[in-house]
Structure 1
Amino acid sequence: MQNWLFKTEPDAFSIDDLANMSNQTEHWDGIRNYQARNFLRDNVKLGDQVFIYHSSCKDVGIVGLAQVVKEAYPDHTQFDPESKYYDPKSSPDNPRWVMVDIQFKQKFSKLLPLKVIKSMPEITEIGLVKKGHRLSIMPVQQSEFEYLLSRCKEAS
């Protein structure tokens, strides 16, 4: 099993949106970066744990936890001309983009801010703390995942 951090803009889709889904499960669509896509397609597996991270907002940071419940399959938004994620170069016979399904596990009562994460000497490998490595989907080493999870639960 691996661990991940998935970024989302809370005004588009938040941890609360995931928690309020009828079965607390949703597809993670709209990824249009090739490296992030490759992680989804090749590495994200059933049962993997996922930090949900709110970005592009006033308070950025880790807000909750989810789990992968369906591995990569074609992202339907790439075929929809009305979607902001439409890709005219993609076709059902040769899809370029994938998505996974995640299920809500927990919302932390307090956000673990990026500023705090960057100040942790134990956290050195996650892309959040590396210049130029700020993908919307990023792996989290087991030791760093456990440490961040313990800090998230402490703050809650």
Structure 2
Amino acid sequence: SSSVRNSLHSKANSGGKSPRMQLSPSRGGALWSLQPETVETVFQSLRRGLKEYLEGHKAEMDFLSSQQRETKRNSRLAFLYDLEKEIRALERYIRRLEFQLSKVEELYETYCIQWRLCQGAVNMKRAFSLSPSTRASRDSLLELSRNHTLSLQ
């Protein structure tokens, strides 16, 4: 049973320590220029991968918890202590994964809102450029163009 636990643990950690994900919108400048379909595909793939990884770790957590219950009955204290340490570390890692998943979802929501705002600005520019030109409409178009350019940065 210890070898099963170790094999599960080694499979989970075979990739070494996972790199931290930088998900702030200010760093994702290139993301804003992508088409929504591409972003949707990337988001769904990333979300699915994180969820699968999370489920694998939750399965390992269930296994370790059942082993902990069994060990308490057999009262092997040193092994129990190591097992509890491993469970606590796994719980922290699962919470981090859940946090990263929520950040990915938050970033995607921000992208969708930004994309809709950008499309609205493009439609307004088109409408102003097609309407009869007056000083007010030229000023509005100029202001809109300036704000649209700023929103893309």
With normalisation by structure 2, the TM-score equals: 0.20
Larger Rg: 2
Q: Say which structure is richer in helix.
A: 2
Q: Say which structure is richer in strand.
A: 1
